[in-house]
Structures are given as C-alpha cells and as structure tokens.
C-alpha cells in the first residue's frame, strides 16, 4: 500500500479525504506535526501545490494538499485565500463578512477547493479544482458544518451548507467537486 501524506494537522480532513480515496489503495497519514508550510501564494491552487510539494520533499513520500475558501463577488473575491484568517473564530469570521457585505444586494459567492498530489520528489503529479456557487444570507441558518457554512446558501437545495445532510454536502461541495475531478486522473497514476 502506498503512503499518501496529507498536508494537514487536522485528523478530520484525513478522514474526509480517505472517504474520497477509499478505492485507490492509499494509506493516508497526517503530516509530521513539526512540519508547517505557510500558505504564501495568491491562489488556492498555488497554495495546494506549495503544501503538497513541501510535504512530499520533507517526508520522501507521496503527498496531497488542498486549499479552499470563500469568494464573495461584491467584495472583489474577499476573503478568498485568506478565508481561514479572516477572523479568530468561525463566528467572528461570519460576523466580519456580514458586516462588510452590509445591505449589498449582490450576495453571490462561491466556495473554491484546489487539490494537488505531489510525488516523493516534490513534483506535482495531479491537480484539480472544484467550485460550488451560492449566495450569502443575511443571518446564519443551520447547526451543521463549520466555517462559513451557516451563511452559504445553495439555491438548488434551498439550504445552507450548515442545514444539509452530510452526503448532500459531500456531493455538492467545492471539495466534493474537486475530488470528483481528481478521481478519474488517479486511475491512471503510476505510483
């Protein structure tokens, strides 16, 4: 079984990625805790590629990384690659976003997820991106999910991410769509 180091310290992200990659014979592992890669790039894909490359080179194993966030059209794509650093807590980030958006009638937004897999030498083997369009509500709804999920409304489902059953969110989400684009490429990957 080929080891695939996940460029995160979050065990929940490893479990989530394992659910997408279950049929491919990878053994997913967390990156070493002392290995920290700063996200310094301007795009989600560049950050995913950077993290995958650095973790692969440091461990000598295959590595996978993702970077994701929320882009709000009326705010010029903000918070974008800074989504996680837009505040100190989920509630603080939501409050700031709603305050900055104010009464703007353009509430269009999208979640973006970029995924990259690097070979043990750090070269990028595969990459994919997924998006999920939606809009920002004026107040949170739902108790599931995390981050901006309570204010991200998906019209086709008439629900926020925080109101969706996990399987629905997995199918529609930006991360789910990124992995849907990545999986066909994985079938042809020589490990």
Residue 119 lies in a domain: yes
Residue 191 lies in a domain: no
Residue 179 lies in a domain: yes
Residue 21 has pLDDT above 70, yes or no: yes
Q: Closest by alpha carbon to 2, among 30, 32, 25, 31? A: 25
What pLDDT does residue 19 have? 84
The average pLDDT across 24-49 equals 93
- Distance of CA 83 to CAs 34, 89, 101, Å? 23, 11, 15
Residue 18 lies in a domain: yes
Could you tell me the pTM of the whole model? 0.92
> How does pLDDT run across 102-157, given as a tens digit for each residue?
999 999 999 999 999 999 999 999 999 999 999 999 999 999 888 999 999 999 99
Instruction: Give the domain CATH number at 35.
Output: 3.90.950.10
Q: Closest by alpha carbon to 21, among 172, 166, 173, 185? A: 185
Q: Roughly what angle, to the nearest 10 degrees, separates helices 174-186 and 11-21?
A: 50
What pLDDT does residue 44 have? 97
Comparing 14-28, 46-60, 110-124, the range with the smallest average pLDDT is 14-28
Residue 22 has pLDDT above 70, yes or no: yes
The average pLDDT across 35-49 equals 94
Residue 177 lies in a domain: yes
Q: Which domain holds residue 137?
A: 2-186
Residue 117 lies in a domain: yes
Domain count within the chain: 1
Q: Name the strands in the sheet holding 26-30, side by side, starting at the edge strand that comes first in the sequence.
A: 26-30, 2-6, 62-72, 108-118, 124-136, 152-154, 159-160
Residue 86 lies in a domain: yes
The average pLDDT across 10-32 equals 86
What pLDDT does residue 69 have? 95
Q: Which residues are catalytic?
A: 67
């Amino acid at each position: 079984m080929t080891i695939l180091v996940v460029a995160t310290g979050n065990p929940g992200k490893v479990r989530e990625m394992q659910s997408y990659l279950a049929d491919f014979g990878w053994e997913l592992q967390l990156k070493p805790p002392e290995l920290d890669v700063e996200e310094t790039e301007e795009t989600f894909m560049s950050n995913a590629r950077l993290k995958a490359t650095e973790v692969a080179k440091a461990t000598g194993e295959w590595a996978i990384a993702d970077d994701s966030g929320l882009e709000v059209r009326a705010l010029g794509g903000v918070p974008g690659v800074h989504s996680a650093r837009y505040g100190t807590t989920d509630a603080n980030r939501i409050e700031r976003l709603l305050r900055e958006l104010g009464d703007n009638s353009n509430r269009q937004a999208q979640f973006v997820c970029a995924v990259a897999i690097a070979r043990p030498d750090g070269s990028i083997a595969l990459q994919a991106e997924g998006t999920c369009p939606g809009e920002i509500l004026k107040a949170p709804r739902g108790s599931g999910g995390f981050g901006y999920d309570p204010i991200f409304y998906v019209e086709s489902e008439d629900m926020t991410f925080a109101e969706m059953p996990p399987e629905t969110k997995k199918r529609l989400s930006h991360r789910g769509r990124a992995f849907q684009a990545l999986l066909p490429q994985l079938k042809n990957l020589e490990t």
